[in-house]
Homo-oligomer: A and B are copies of this chain.
Amino acid sequence: MAAKKKSDTQTDGAQNLELLHSMLLQRRFEERCAEAYALGKIGGFCHLYIGQEAVSTGTMSQLRPDDYVITTYRDHGPALARGMTPRSVMAELFGRQDGCARGKGGSMHMFDTNTNFLGGHGIVGGHVPIATGVGFAIKYRGGDQVIACFMGESVVNTGAFHEALNMAGLWKLPCVFIIENNRYGMGTSLERASAITDIYERGAAYNMPRNQCDGQDIFAVRQAVGEAVERARKEQIPTLLEVRTYRFMGHSMSDAVSGTYRPKSELEEQMKRDPITLLRNHMQEASQLTDEQLQQMDVEIKAVVQDAWDFADASPELPQEALYEDVYADTTT
């Protein structure tokens, strides 16, 4: 684990326990998602976040409740890290009435007005201009919020990304663009998709501050995101941040964990840097965590996830008429 930096002194003890709790919750939650998918309780595309939890938790820990978050279809982790309830997320995955999106969005489309969680988007690159638009709205209203926009590394090749970053840079909008570089876009490695591999450098084309950090080390993520958030909030300067992480599962439930496009050995090598293990070890060395505490936390979290499962299972199916609801809003203005 990176030797703790000055800026991390505040992340000791209690706070580290929170970070660990957040990451472990995402992990245990998604382990059960895989189970529910196998049982047919979850359908469609289901992209697990396992291995990348330090990025979501590290980022959210630097945001205010009134800030905004937007991400891709790989959204269970960010949704939970942002504070959406396991119940509402699991019920959404089960396609039930009590899901955060009434069971209409599913795995790829988590939305929540309470936590300013703006989705859950299925078109690669499509949500980046939306993030720029939220940044525009914040500036328009003279607010001091920021928007954190997560994206996979493949997104930096899409036209939408470039059009969006140019406007964010040109208009100086409070956006933090966070690339979760897990090295693969489905079965295509970064080297085979992008003419450069230090992709944070693409920020230069938009005169945008840019940075790269280790995404398995939550303190490194907190450090880099913290700087970017402060720059956005205080000076309304956007940042392009490349976070180097790794996906421990297949691209989606239908994709083998390794084989065609990445060797088992690479996966095993990467799993040695499990972000949860790294934080746990750090805390134990710093004697911020006893085995009993960890034990207990895990038990509690598993109970919370089980509760979410039971809740989702018990949540009613949508009535047929719901098919025709939410197509158009009744205009009140």
Task: Decide if A195 touches B201 in the complex (CB within 8 Å).
Answer: no
A-side interface residues toward B, CB under 8 Å?
157-163, 165-166, 169-170, 192-196, 201-202, 204-208
Interface of A is mostly: helix
**5 A-B pairs (CB sep. < 8 Å):** A157-B163, A169-B195, A195-B205, A201-B204, A201-B205
A170: which B residues are within 8 A, CB to CB? 192-195
CA separation between A5 and B137, bound complex, in Å? Answer: 52
CA separation between A215 and B205, bound complex, in Å? Answer: 22
A205: which B residues are within 8 A, CB to CB? 195-196, 201-202, 204-205
Task: Decide if A158 touches B169 in the complex (CB within 8 Å).
Answer: no
CA separation between A207 and B202, bound complex, in Å? Answer: 10
CA separation between A193 and B159, bound complex, in Å? Answer: 16
5 closest cross-chain pairs (CB), A and B? A159-B159, A169-B195, A162-B162, A195-B206, A170-B195
A161: which B residues are within 8 A, CB to CB? 159, 162
A166: which B residues are within 8 A, CB to CB? 157, 194-195
A157: which B residues are within 8 A, CB to CB? 162-163, 166
CA separation between A142 and B160, bound complex, in Å? Answer: 33
CA separation between A194 and B162, bound complex, in Å? Answer: 11
